[in-house]
Amino acid sequence: MSRFDRRVRLTPLLLLSVLLSGGCSRKASEPVIGVTLVTKEHVFYNELEQGMRGEAQKQGFRLVVISGDWDLARQQNQIKDFITRRVSAIVVCPVNSSGVGPAIAEARQAGIPVFTADIRALNAPVVSHIASDNREGGRLAGKFMGQLLAGRKEAKIAIIHQPVTETALERVAGFQEAIAAFANVKVVAAPNGDGVRDRAMRAAEDVLQAFPDLAGFFGINDDSALGAMAAIESSGRKGLVVVGFDATPEARKAIRRGAALKGDIAQQPGEIGRKTVQTVAAHLRGEPVPATVPIPVQLIDR
């Protein structure tokens, strides 16, 4: 490894150390909350971070917000560095619901309370999980999809999945529960799009090729839904419908213009961020907090 390579690899941790040290202008008693997001390249997590920062200012907390960038090893190392720096609490939006568990357990063993936001961690001892009611959102999406396809004798649909996150698993479970009420609708494929648009588009293209009579897609987030929509538009196929989850500005615009994306489940990422910091604050004050804090969702269409 060259001297240059070594410097590049150390930079993120050095930067984190500087942020956590706070400098002489920070109050010594100011609680520091370490936050590791899935990504900072998505409007949902931008809004969630804004909600957290606004509430943290009210609570007198200092946030250190970094991103796992869809990389489990990176996120595990971020949590371990928070432990080393003895932050007051850690908030994790897991990039992998199962894989992040050992790092969370290590933080709890060190006496640091851990909270999850948006995505649940499996087999991990968190104080509280704050997120959208994803199963209910899946039900709303499934019911809407069934209604869109109610006039067809037989309708084959596919789910663009992301099975490594509990959030996606909950959404798909709710969707399948609701779609089961429509006897004419059948889920024929559920490829993994990894929650990112280019991979979702490739997955949707494969499904379209395998099923020439496909009627539609459910995307577990808007990158998945917009990727499926792009695949449909690229194929020139008509009459297909897409239902998404997140209701990002780009997705809302597609719905308004009458694209294949017909409906979306709207979340409240800013509220998730605010509630997360409020829950952390209550716990640090010694107050009991619920194990799960569900944030309502709603269906939007044109």
pLDDT in tens, 86-132: 999 999 999 999 999 999 999 999 999 999 999 999 989 999 999 99
**pLDDT at residue 268 is higher than 50:** yes
DSSP code of 120? P
In this prediction, residues 43-50 reach a mean pLDDT of 94
Tell me the domain boundaries of the chain.
Answer: 10-17+28-126+269-295, 134-266
C-alpha distances in Å from residue 46, one per residue of 14, 43, 87, 238, 248: 24, 5, 22, 34, 11
Residue 14 has pLDDT above 70, yes or no: no
* Residue 11: predicted pLDDT: 45
In terms of Cα–Cα distance, which of 193, 197, 242 is closest to 215? 242
Q: Is 294 helix (H, G, I), strand (E, B) or coil?
A: strand
Q: How many CB atoms are located within 10 Å of the residue 1 CB? A: 7
* Tokens 């240059």 sit on residue: 4
Q: Indicate if 134-266 has the same CATH topology as 10-17+28-126+269-295.
A: yes
User: What is residue 23's predicted lDDT score, i.e. its pLDDT?
Assistant: 42
% the chain with pLDDT above 90: 87
- Cβ atoms of 125 and 104 closer than 8 Å: yes
Backbone angles phi, psi at 25, to 5 degrees: -80, -10
CATH fit for domain 134-266, picks 3.40.640.10, 3.40.50.2300, 3.40.605.10, 3.30.930.10:
3.40.50.2300
Residue 8 confidence class, pLDDT cut points 50, 70, 90: very low
CATH 3.90.79.10 at 10-17+28-126+269-295, yes or no? no
Residue (of 61, 72, 7, 11) closest to 36 by Cα position: 72
3-state helix, strand, coil in the chain (%, to 5): 45, 20, 35
Sheet of strand 62-67: strand arrangement: 62-67, 32-37, 89-92, 114-117, 128-132, 292-295
pTM across the whole model: 0.77
- What share of the chain in percent tops pLDDT 70? 91
Distance CA(96)–CA(101), nearest Å, equals 9
From 24, 22, 25, select the one nearest 87 (Cα to Cα): 22
Residue 9 predicted with pLDDT over 60: no
pLDDT in tens, 214-243: 999 999 999 999 999 999 999 999 999 999
Q: Is the pLDDT of residue 6 over 50?
A: no
What pLDDT does 25 receive? 42
pLDDT band at 42 (very low <50, low <70, confident <90, very high): confident
